[in-house]
Amino acid sequence: MNIKKPSSHKNSEPESGFLYIVGTPIGNLNDLSLRALNILKNVSLIACEDTRQTRKLMSKFAFTNNLISFNKHNSSIKIPRIVNDLNSGKSIALASDAGMPSICDPGENLVKYAKSKGIGIVCIPGPCAALTAIVSSGLPSSKFIFEGFLPKKKSEREKILLDISKNDKTTIIYESPHRLLKLLGQLKEYCGGEREIQVFRELTKKFEEHIGNNVDEVLNFFEGREILGEITVVIKGINKEIQNPELNKQYLKEELNDLIKAGLSLSSASKYLAKKNNISKNLIYKLH
Closest CA to 130 of 152, 105, 155, 162: 105
What x/- string results for residues 4 through 43 when contact with ligand SAM is judged by CB under 6 A? ----------------------xx----------------
Work out whether the CA dihedral 74, 80, 84, 86 comes out positive or negative. Answer: positive
Looking at 3-11, 87-95, 168-176, 187-195, which segment touches ligand SAM (CB under 6 A)? 168-176
Q: Is position 234 an interface residue for ligand SAM (rule: CB under 6 A)?
A: no
What x/- string results for residues 61 through 100 when contact with ligand SAM is judged by CB under 6 A? -----------------------------------x-xxx
Among 203, 235, 242, 256, binds ligand SAM (CB under 6 A): 203
Closest CA to 26 of 114, 120, 101: 101
Looking at 171-179, 219-227, 243-251, 266-274, which segment touches ligand SAM (CB under 6 A)? 171-179
Q: Tell me how far apart the alpha carbons of residues 90 and 18 are, in angstroms, rounded to a whole number.
A: 7
- DSSP letter assigned to residue 177: G
Q: Is position 190 an interface residue for ligand SAM (rule: CB under 6 A)?
A: no
Among 84, 109, 176, 282, binds ligand SAM (CB under 6 A): 176
Q: Is position 128 an interface residue for ligand SAM (rule: CB under 6 A)?
A: yes
Task: Give the neighbor-by-neighbor strand order of the sheet with 92-95.
Answer: 67-69, 45-48, 92-95, 18-22, 120-124
Decide: helix, strand or coil at residue 209.
strand
111, 102 Cβ separation under 8 angstroms: yes
Q: From the CB of 168, what's the least distance to ligand SAM, in Å?
A: 24
Q: Tell me how far apart the alpha carbons of residues 193 and 137 are, in angstroms, rounded to a whole number.
A: 18
Q: Which residues are near ligand SAM by CB under 6 A? A: 26-27, 96, 98-100, 103-105, 128-130, 174-176, 200, 202-205, 230-232
